């Protein structure tokens, strides 16, 4: 016989006003305090001071006991949201950088365990190392509702990354909850779920979701082999419904751009409005939970991903109005650069010549710097770690085998036209040009901006700033005449943040080789420019500048390359720090 079905109060509808939700949560906290006061022995439920420990060794292998995850439940304020996006980005940058370095060092094989400790999967190892250094976010509290600094539509490639930022604290389980043994009322409370199609009885139409409880399956089985029980995460879901506590929903989707073939996208907050026992397709009892998406939130990230795929195949069918050009580069880029404006009649990007590559002055290709550089590497196949170009880069290449930047440097030397290595050489990345379908679009907030129809991986090359490169003397003249100039030397050194693992390795030192002199050049984009010139300014950007040389060796005239600071979902605006402060919201080129 089936277990008896739960009979809870269905709780408020997702459209209920915030006052009602706040009242329900307040009542939960009141009951929690009453329970704590009545408990004869509630020491195990309290947060107690922990004696200070001696300073840990700088060696990675020296681990300390990780603090347990707090059971205290809190809501985050708007004030928190405005100040922690950068903290989230920092944590994600550390995770992605660390994972890339672990993969590289594991393939080298030399002294891996001496540096990093016991071998394990790179994402697991990166998360473990961050946990050992107390770098996971929100371990001191369980946030109910939205996580500050995490936006709807944010994309993650690994379950452990969800744990690191506090979005979902379970590395395997689909339901994250405060267990009854640690809850102040003795009741489990669910906070987030992952919907990845792992259960045959799930129903997902986006705004409405029927989620199947956990349990009842054998290992590595998709079908149920026994009845589920109203305990653990299943009971936590029922209790969250009873108290009207919203649930964060993360969807797992297949993606050929992910290292593991799957991505996790945060789709916002839902309310559980009903739960019941049912007979599943396998003939066993299962618990089902009906969730409705709360109104007034940003568009679902999974919906945006679907729209982006449709736009790549048939843009005019997906968005019949607003396209002014399907390719403003007119074939000069490997991938089309579309132009979209459904705001006003502005057509400015069509008035400029599209220049895929910058035009350097003759000074860049002559002089002592180029004469001293030699003839390039002599590698017949892909370059190895001991080749000439590797030495120019300080003894290591800047990219992994997939073209992802391992860590930023003052300057990167890519293999050039004088090198004998083939075009497939992993040290030829940014010189190959745009690798994503980019779109210049009109926005009420930032004017013209840039977004991608593709998911962009953290550390991936995006595009290059292009125009007419001016000497210092020319810069002074053209600036006085009111020309639109981009000053490469004005960009902050955000490259230092990418690959910075100083939080993990106390002895880590940012690369200072190859060196780069003070840049006094500029890029004139008054008559000819490319897609990069429409990047919006932000003091918390998602892309950064990395200087690169490949077609000449004059360090005074580097290419201004743009790389992703984080995983950037499709149709999210790309933003860069121009070094002009918050008070300047426009672009340098406008």
* CATH at residue 571: 2.170.270.10
Indicate if the pLDDT at residue 520 is higher than 80: yes
pLDDT digits (tens, 9 = 90+) for 367-398: 666 656 667 899 988 898 889 999 999 888 99
12: Cβ contacts below 8 Å, ≥ 6 apart: 20, 21, 24, 244, 271
Q: In the predicted model, what is the mean pLDDT of residues 407-413?
A: 94
pLDDT in tens, 107-162: 766 555 666 666 778 999 999 999 999 999 988 888 899 999 999 999 999 999 99
- Please determine, for residue 42, whether its predicted confidence score (pLDDT) is greater than 50: no
Residue 132 lies in a domain: yes
Of the listed ranges 45-59, 77-91, 163-177, 518-532, the one predicted with least confidence: 45-59
Same domain, yes or no, for 406 and 540? yes
For position 589, what pLDDT does the model report?
43
| pLDDT at residue 313, as a whole number | 93
Give the span between the Cα atoms of 532 and 486, in whole angstroms. 11
512 and 456 within one domain: yes
pLDDT at 44: 38
Residue 449 lies in a domain: yes
Query: In the prediction, which pLDDT does 431 show?
Result: 97
Number of H helices and E strands in the chain, helices first, is 11, 25
pLDDT number for residue 230: 92
Residue 430 near residue 559 (C-beta atoms within 8 A) = yes
Please, which contacts does 50-56 make with residues 24 or more away whose CB atoms are closer than 8 Å?
A: none
So what's the pLDDT on residue 80? Answer: 55
Instruction: Give the lowest-confidence range in 55-69, 204-218, 547-561.
Output: 55-69
Contacts 24+ apart (CB under 8 A), 55-61: 58/505, 58/506, 58/507, 60/115, 60/116, 60/117, 60/129, 60/504, 60/505, 61/113, 61/114, 61/116, 61/117
Same-domain check for residues 272 and 331: no
- In the structure, what pLDDT confidence band is assigned to residue 218 with cuts at 50, 70 and 90? low
**pLDDT for the residue 495:** 95
Q: Tell me the average pLDDT across 340-344.
A: 96
Alpha helices by DSSP H, 277-406:
301-313, 315-318, 368-372, 388-392
Tell me which of 298, 318, 347 is where a domain ends. 298
Contacts for 311 with CB less than 8 Å, ≥ 6 apart: 318, 319, 453
| CA separation, residue 190 to residues 13, 18, 187, 246, 445 (Å) | 17, 19, 10, 9, 37
pLDDT at 409: 94
Task: Provide the pLDDT for residue 39.
Answer: 47
Q: Within its chain, how far is the Cα of 523 from the centroid?
A: 30
Shared domain for 276 and 361, answered yes or no, is: no
The tokens describing 445, both together, are 């907030």
Q: Averaged over 558-575, what is the pLDDT?
A: 97
Nearest-angstrom CA–CA distance, 496 and 493: 6
Higher pLDDT, 452 or 369: 452
Instruction: Identify the pLDDT of residue 49.
Output: 38
Q: What is the pLDDT of residues 165-192, one digit of tens each?
A: 999 999 888 999 999 888 878 899 999 9
Closest Cα partner for 163 from 133, 144, 198, 135?
Answer: 135
- What is the phi/psi pair of residue 450, to 5°? -130, 140
Mean pLDDT value across residues 304-332: 95
Q: Is the domain of 292 the same as that of 310?
A: no
Give a yes or no: residue 42 inside a domain.
Answer: no
Residue 370 confidence (pLDDT)? 64
Beta-bridge mates of residue 183: none
Whether 52 has a pLDDT exceeding 60, the answer reads no
Q: Which two tokens stand for residue 536?
A: 């919006």
DSSP 8-state assignment for residue 49: -
Residue 28's contacts (CB-CB under 8 Å, 6 or more residues apart) are 185, 189, 243, 245
Domain enclosing residue 224, as ranges: 18-33+74-298
- Reference 574, options 566, 582, 585, 586; nearest CA is 566
What is the structure's pLDDT at 480? 83
User: Which of these, 175, 103, 169, 173, lies nearest to 136 by C-alpha position?
Assistant: 169
> What per-residue confidence (pLDDT) applies to 116?
65
Q: What is the mean pLDDT of residues 190-200?
A: 84
User: Number of folded domains in the chain?
Assistant: 2
Is the residue at 500 inside a domain? yes
Residue 74: is its pLDDT beyond 80?
no
On whether both 292 and 434 belong to a single domain, the answer is no
Handedness of CA 396, 399, 400, 406 (dihedral sign): positive
Map residue 509 onto helix, strand or coil: coil
CATH number at residue 213: 2.30.280.10
Residue at 43 is within a domain: no
Q: Which residues contact 59 (CB under 8 A, 6 or more apart)?
A: none
Residue 587 lies in a domain: no
Tell me the average pLDDT across 218-222. 65
| pLDDT reported for residue 466 | 97
178 bridge partner residues: 189
| CA atoms of 77 and 552, how far apart (whole Å) | 52
Rg (CA), the chain: 27
At residue 346, the pLDDT reads 95
**Is the model's pLDDT at 202 over the cut of 60?**
yes
Distance CA 117, CA 103 (A): 14
Same domain as 409, residue 537: yes
Tokens of residue 104, six digits = 């590289």
* Pair 164, 130 in one domain: yes
- The reported pLDDT for the residue numbered 57 is 35
Task: Kindly indicate the confidence band of residue 519, based on its pLDDT and cuts at 50, 70 and 90.
Answer: very high
Using 50, 70 and 90 to split pLDDT, how confident is the model at 30?
Answer: low
Do 401 and 290 lie in one domain? The reply is: no
* pLDDT score of 40: 43
Q: Which of 298, 330, 362 is the last residue of a domain?
A: 298
* Contact (Cβ atoms closer than 8 angstroms) between residue 228 and residue 213: yes
pLDDT, the chain, mean: 84
CB 332 within 8 A of CB 356: yes
- Place 329 in a pLDDT band, splitting at 50, 70 and 90: very high
Please give the Cα distance from 559 to 122 (Å, whole number): 32
pLDDT band at 472 (very low <50, low <70, confident <90, very high): very high
Neighbours of 477 (CB within 10 A): 11
* C-alpha torsion 104→108→112→114, nearest 10: -130
Going by pLDDT thresholds of 50, 70 and 90, the confidence category of residue 423 is very high
In a domain, 281, yes or no: yes
Instruction: Tell me what pLDDT residue 258 has.
Output: 85
Q: Which helix (H) or strand (E) holds 528?
A: strand 528-529
Instruction: Give pLDDT, residue 339.
Output: 98
Query: DSSP label at 224?
Result: B
The whole-angstrom separation of Cα 325 and Cα 309 is 18
Residue 19, pLDDT > 80, answer no
Residue 532 pLDDT greater than 90, yes or no: yes
pTM for the whole structure: 0.84
Do 124 and 147 fall into the same domain? yes
Query: Do 280 and 328 lie in a common domain?
Result: no
Domain boundary residue among 235, 266, 298?
298
Task: With cut-offs at 50, 70 and 90, classify the pLDDT of residue 32.
Answer: low
Of 89-93, 198-202, 369-373, 476-480, the one with minimum mean pLDDT is 369-373
Domain shared by 503 and 446, yes or no? yes
* Position 392 in a domain: yes
Choose between 502 and 8: higher pLDDT.
502
- Predicted local distance difference test score (pLDDT) of residue 77: 65
Q: What percent of the chain has pLDDT over 70?
A: 80
What single DSSP character describes residue 366? S
Which residue's entry shows tokens 């998709």? 222
């Amino acid at each position: 016989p089936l277990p008896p079905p739960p009979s809870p109060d269905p709780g408020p509808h997702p459209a209920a006003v915030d006052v009602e939700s706040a009242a329900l949560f307040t009542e939960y906290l009141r009951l929690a305090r009453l329970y704590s006061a009545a408990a004869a022995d509630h020491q195990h439920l309290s947060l107690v001071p922990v004696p200070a420990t001696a300073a840990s060794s700088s060696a990675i292998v020296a681990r300390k006991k990780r603090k347990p995850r707090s059971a205290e439940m809190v809501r985050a304020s708007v004030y928190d949201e405005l100040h922690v996006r950068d903290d989230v980005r920092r944590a994600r940058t550390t995770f992605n950088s660390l994972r890339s370095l672990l993969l590289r060092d594991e393939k080298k094989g030399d002294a891996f365990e001496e540096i990093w400790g016991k071998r394990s999967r790179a994402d697991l190892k990166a998360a473990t190392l961050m946990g050992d250094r107390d770098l996971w976010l929100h371990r001191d509290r369980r946030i109910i509702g939205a996580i500050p600094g995490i936006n709807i539509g944010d994309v993650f490639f690994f379950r452990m990354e969800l744990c690191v930022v506090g979005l979902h604290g379970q590395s395997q389980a689909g339901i994250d909850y405060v267990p009854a043994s640690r809850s102040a009322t003795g009741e489990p409370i669910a906070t987030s779920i992952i919907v990845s199609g792992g259960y045959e009885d799930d129903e997902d139409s986006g705004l409405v979701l029927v989620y199947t409880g956990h349990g009842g399956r054998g290992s590595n089985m998709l079908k149920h082999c026994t009845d589920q029980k109203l305990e653990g995460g299943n009971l936590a879901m029922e209790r969250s419904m009873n108290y009207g506590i919203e649930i964060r929903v993360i969807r797992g989707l297949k993606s050929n751009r992910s290292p593991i073939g799957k991505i996790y996208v945060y789709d916002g907050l839902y309310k559980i409005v009903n739960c019941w026992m049912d007979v599943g397709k396998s003939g066993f009892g299962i618990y089902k939970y009906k969730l409705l998406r709360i109104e007034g939130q940003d568009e679902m990230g999974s919906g945006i991903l679907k729209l982006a795929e449709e736009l790549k195949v048939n843009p005019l069918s997906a968005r019949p109005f607003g396209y002014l050009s399907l390719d403003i580069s007119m074939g000069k880029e490997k991938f089309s650069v579309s132009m979209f404006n459904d705001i006003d009649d502005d057509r400015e990007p069509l008035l400029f010549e599209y220049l895929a590559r910058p035009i350097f002055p003759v000074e860049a290709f002559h002089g002592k710097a180029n004469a001293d550089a030699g003839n390039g590497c002599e590698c017949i196949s892909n370059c190895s770690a001991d080749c000439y170009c590797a030495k120019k880069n300080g003894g290591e290449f800047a990219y992994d085998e997939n073209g992802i930047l391992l860590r930023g440097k003052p300057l990167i030397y890519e293999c050039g036209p004088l090198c004998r290595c083939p075009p497939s050489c992993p040290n030829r990345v940014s010189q190959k040009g745009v690798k994503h379908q980019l779109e210049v679009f009109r926005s009420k907030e930032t004017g013209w901006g840039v977004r991608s129809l593709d998911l962009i991986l953290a550390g991936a090359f995006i595009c290059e700033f292009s125009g007419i490169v001016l000497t210092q003397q020319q810069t002074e003249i053209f600036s006085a005449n009111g020309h639109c100039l981009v000053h490469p030397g004005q960009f902050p050194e955000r490259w230092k943040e990418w690959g910075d693992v100083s939080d993990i390795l106390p002895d880590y030192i940012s690369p200072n080789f190859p060196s780069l002199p003070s840049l006094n050049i500029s890029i004139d984009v008054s008559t000819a420019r490319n897609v990069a010139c429409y990047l919006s300014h932000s003091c918390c950007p998602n892309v950064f500048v990395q200087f690169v040389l490949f077609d000449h060796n004059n360090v005074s005239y580097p290419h201004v390359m743009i790389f992703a600071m984080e995983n950037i979902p499709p149709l999210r605006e790309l933003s860069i720090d121009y070094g002009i402060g918050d008070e300047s919201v426009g672009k340098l080129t406008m």
